[in-house]
Structure 1
Amino acid sequence: MSRFVVRIHRPPQLKGAALVLSKLFGCAIPVVQIAIGSVYLDDCPVQHYIPIYLIVSGVFGLMLALFTCIPFPKEPEDNDTDVIDVVCITWNSLLAFFLFSWFIVGNVWIYSIYQPEYTKNSTNVDVYCDKTLYLFSFWITTLFYIIFGFVLVAGCCRLVCAYLCCPDDDANANANVNVNVNTNANSNVNVKANAKANANVNANVNTNVIINV
């Protein structure tokens, strides 16, 4: 069970090209959000908050991505926490909480008007929303749910695999314990047998001495 816990606390870390690609992806998405929101700022009368949602998400998402690229110094041996580390961790936590709240609000704005009118009508422009703007907002939001579901399934599979591998480790540990117990028991039996043999030898010696006397 202890090895199972250790496996949970030691997830694989991204290194090399995978780490660089993840950082680039994390920075590219916010930049595209800012660009799309700025270009189509006034092209969604049915829900004019959608472009604003993209711009704000892009700005704060880019800030969070850049802050995560800053290397943190290693923890000192005396376990004293640096003030800069505390400030950075607190800022990133608050930023992540704001982005999560903003994401929930954006879901309401985007999914509540599905699907808007993509063709601008001169008689009724209130139901119009640019197709590029809305579809980008819709799929970039849906993409987060797809990634979350994939990560959730992968995490569950990892836990199941780690749990299924643990009984073998426990069985081997129990087998080693049983072998040690049996070895100790055999050693005790041999010691007792030797003690009895020595006692018999001493008794025979004493008997021979008495007879000789």
Structure 2
Amino acid sequence: MAEEEPPLYKDVPENSGAPPPTYQSDVAAEEARPVMSGTEPPPSYDSLFGKIKEARTEHGNSFGFFKALLAILGAAIGGIVCVACVAALMAFPIAQLVIGLQNQDQCTINNKIPLFLIVSGACGCAAAVLQIMDQMCCSDTDSSGERRSKCPCLGFILHLLNLFCFAWFICGNVWVYKIHKTVDYDDPASEEYCGKLVYLFAFWSITAVYVALGATCVIGCGCVCLMACLG
């Protein structure tokens, strides 16, 4: 015996009190809809505030929440610092190159100082470009998740360039720091004359490297001590 089809809604008399008819497609769709249990955790949030709120929900004690908060903020700040470092790494060598080219004949006491800025700026720009190319175009991960380069020749060139930059940096230390107390900024006719901009930029370019290395060591030791204290 064929199943009797339910009447259409327009065929139901008005004020009959009967509920609207149900259809098999609606029932199947309702049964197939997933039902979330009361104990199921809410979906994760992509925003910083959502991650902090989720960490607060997961960790009942304040110490666990504090550790999770440090991890979340560290990841967020790390991305900003990374972008800032890339921008600085590109801007700084460009400034060295421009200042060195504009002041090639402005350092009588040692004409190698403008050359130091020119070569340092050119090598810095080249190293930054090669590093970006190696990260974006020539890198891959193996089955264990470790990064490996698909362009070993590019990595070899980058290593050679870094070695040359290190050796050139040592030469710049000798040229710049050796005349620090005898350089003359005012008299272009003097044998000890060097343009104030070119010399001071070279001097602080070298000094900034030592300051950055010292700050990195201090911050690294502080992070290790903090991680050890937090377990």
TM-score when normalising by structure 2? 0.60
Q: What is the CA-CA distance between 1:104 and the residue it aligns to?
A: 0.9
The superposition leaves residues 150-178 of structure 1 with CA deviations (integer Å, 9 ceiling, x where unpaired) of 00101111222223334xxxxxxxxxxxx
- Corresponding residue for 1:28? 91
> Where does the alignment leave 5 or more consecutive residues of structure 1 unmatched?
1-10, 167-213
Taking the TM superposition and a 5 Å limit, the aligned residue runs for 1:62-211 are 62-70=125-133, 71=136, 72-77=138-143, 83-84=150-151, 86-115=152-181, 116-120=183-187, 122=189, 125-166=190-231
Equivalent of 1:55 in 118, 126, 135: 118
> Where does the alignment leave 5 or more consecutive residues of structure 2 unmatched?
1-73
Distance 2:196 2:154 in 1: 39
Structure showing greater radius of gyration is: 1
Q: What is the CA-CA distance between 1:14 and the residue it aligns to?
A: 7.4
Say how many residue pairs are matched. 153
Distance 2:79 2:221 in 1: 26
The superposition leaves residues 63-116 of structure 1 with CA deviations (integer Å, 9 ceiling, x where unpaired) of 1111122214322338896551x2222222221111111111101100000130
Q: What is the CA-CA distance between 1:21 and the residue it aligns to?
A: 2.3
SS at match of 1:69: helix
C-alpha distance 152-120 of structure 1, shift in aligned 2 (>3 A)? same
Give the helix-richer structure, 1 or 2: 1
The superposition leaves residues 178-211 of structure 1 with CA deviations (integer Å, 9 ceiling, x where unpaired) of xxxxxxxxxxxxxxxxxxxxxxxxxxxxxxxxxx
Distance 1:64 1:80 in 2: 19
C-alpha distance 152-15 of structure 1, shift in aligned 2 (>3 A)? closer
Q: CA RMSD in A?
A: 2.4
Q: What is the CA-CA distance between 1:16 and the residue it aligns to?
A: 4.7
Contact persistence 1:23–1:69 (CA under 8 A): no
Identity of aligned residues (%): 30
The residue identity in structure 2 corresponding to 1:73 is S
TM-score when normalising by structure 1? 0.64
Distance 2:213 2:149 in 1: 33
Q: What is the CA-CA distance between 1:22 and the residue it aligns to?
A: 1.7
Between 1 and 2, higher relative CO (CA 8 Å, sep ≥ 6) is seen in 1
